[in-house]
Amino acid sequence: MFRKKGKNGVRLRIPGFGDRHIHTLLSDYDGTLSCNGKVGTNLKDQLVRLADLVEIHILTADKKAKSNDCFGPLPVHVHILGGEDQDIQKRHYLKDFAPANVVVFGNGNNDRLLFDAVKENGGLCIAVDNGEGCAIDVILHAHLFVHDASKALGLLLEPVVCAAALRY
């Protein structure tokens, strides 16, 4: 398990939907956290704040994501995927975590299997369009759709907002 001691996680109290205690964020990179291959300064600041609470893992085939221009010294783990079966690779990456304590961000068809596995096990799935579109298939497998990665991260930094969107 990647979970480090000392991180309290994020508690989401969601009437009717069910509470979530998030310890890990697994996120796609291209089109989810980045737009045109770039990660904004505001987003980087939010990732630093969120990393005090949860472990953050970026799953991507884009080797540039490890560069200083993307995440560089930020407190995130960047995992580079191989060329084929990225949907299966992303779902397999989940095996090191308790899915009920995971939130996933994604925008592409290659995120749908990960979304299904997290959703089936009580985690939280957020489809994120950061300006490059979002596949209908991943939206249909999500609990929530958000336009703008900064707003998606804001839902974890301000859990009351997330609860308002998901409550029954």
Distance between first and last Cα of the chain: 33
Q: Which residue has the tokens 């994604």?
A: 106
Q: Which of 83, 123, 121, 103 is nearest to 27 (CA)?
A: 103
Token readout for 65 is: 């994501």
Token readout for 67 is: 């560069």
Report d(CA 141, CA 119) in Å as an integer.
Answer: 8
What is the full per-residue pLDDT of the chain (168 aa) written as tens digits?
A: 444 555 789 999 998 998 999 999 999 998 899 888 888 888 899 999 999 999 999 998 887 777 666 787 888 999 999 888 999 999 999 999 999 999 999 999 999 999 999 999 999 999 999 889 999 999 999 999 999 999 999 999 988 888 788 888
Token readout for 163 is: 């609860």
**Domains defined along the chain, listed by start:** 10-166 (3.40.50.1000)
